[in-house]
Amino acid sequence: MMFKTIILTILLSIAQFASAETAPAKPAVDEPKIAKLETSVEELIVKKKEYSSALQEYASAAKANPQVPYYRDQYAILQRVIKLKKLLAEETNAEKWKSYAVAVRAYYYSKGYYSESLEIDMAAAARFDTVDFAVNVLETLLLTGKNEDAAKFAASKQFTEKPARYKTLEAVILARTGKIEDAMNAIKAIELEPKANAMSYFDLARVYSAAGDKEKALSNLKILMEHTIPSEQPIIQSMIQRSAEYVPLQNTEELKAVLAAQSKITQSGCTGGSSCGSCSMKDKCASSK
């Protein structure tokens, strides 16, 4: 998954919020207000495509609550996303276009706006035709319930080498299109390692869910949560909660326990800057070794 390790870091660094790695923590006292605001913003962006109105929502909240940084930060991030969307329509340099697309997609996934990501994913796959961008398309199609479209897209691709994530997404397609036995056989043949292939466990959980094996579905979701870095866990939690397979489990103690699983992965202190050499954390960071 391309948003892994870069979610919001790209957006924040582009917007020159170099000190931030993820979205600012939401103050507990403001959580009800924030939840209500985010519901309104999502409706404006996803359903009405009114990005300017969504931006104004954040602006109004920031003005009314100057003591809460969250609103100002979200305003600045969305303002930058709007600019990047405009650049996507104009940019002719392939590498710049790719960086803008990755950043905007990261924003959509951080918010759970998967349907908004589809146009970008399809455009990126058409421009670059790589297995990584194909993974993005399959991921988004399946998250938005477009199972037949996912099957057609996968059938149109002939990659000689497929990473584990591509294979597990293919298994989800099989399960979602009624080929449960084929899906089960497919996942048995895929070699996975939790730290390297964490998102594939999300796919395995969906296959087991389709097969009616709730226990294995939940155990695989727990593996996913345990092997997701702490700053990205809220994004994965949202992805699980928004997935059709787990709607019946919402508000159950079993799913709550999975979503509360602690990460076994150490959070990096990387600021997402342009150079390890100039970073004040370089002597403590494994990435610069």
Confidence of residue 248 (pLDDT cuts 50, 70, 90): confident
- pTM confidence score: 0.85
* Position 283 in a domain: no
Mean pLDDT within 192-199: 96
Confidence of residue 279 (pLDDT cuts 50, 70, 90): low
DSSP 114: H
Write the CATH number for 262. Answer: 1.25.40
* Position 118 in a domain: no
- Same-domain check for residues 139 and 204: yes
Write the pLDDT tens digit of every residue in 61-97: 999 999 999 999 999 999 999 999 999 999 999 999 9
- Same-domain check for residues 159 and 90: no
- Same-domain check for residues 146 and 232: yes
Q: Cα dist. 152→142, 173, 242 in Å?
A: 12, 10, 23
* Position 144 in a domain: yes
- Same-domain check for residues 142 and 261: yes
pLDDT > 90? residue 255:
yes
- Same-domain check for residues 134 and 73: no
- Same-domain check for residues 45 and 172: no
- Same-domain check for residues 42 and 160: no
Helix (H, G, I), strand (E, B) or coil at 147: helix
- Same-domain check for residues 185 and 264: yes
Contact 7, 110 (CB under 8 A): yes
Q: Cα dist. 96→33, 87, 89, 106, 165 in Å?
A: 37, 9, 12, 15, 26
- pLDDT of the residue at 128: 96
Q: Rounded distance, CA 139 to CA 143, Å?
A: 6
**DSSP readout, 32-87?**
HHHHHHHHHHHIIIIIS--HHHHHHHHHHHHHH-TT-HHHHHHHHHHHHHHHHHHH
Dihedral sign of CA atoms 200, 128, 175, 116 in order? positive
E strand or H helix that includes residue 140: helix 131-143
* Position 119 in a domain: no
- Number of domains, the chain: 2
Q: Which of the two residues, 273 and 130, has the higher pLDDT score? A: 130
Question: Which range marks the domain in which residue 18 is found?
Answer: 1-111
Confidence of residue 271 (pLDDT cuts 50, 70, 90): very low
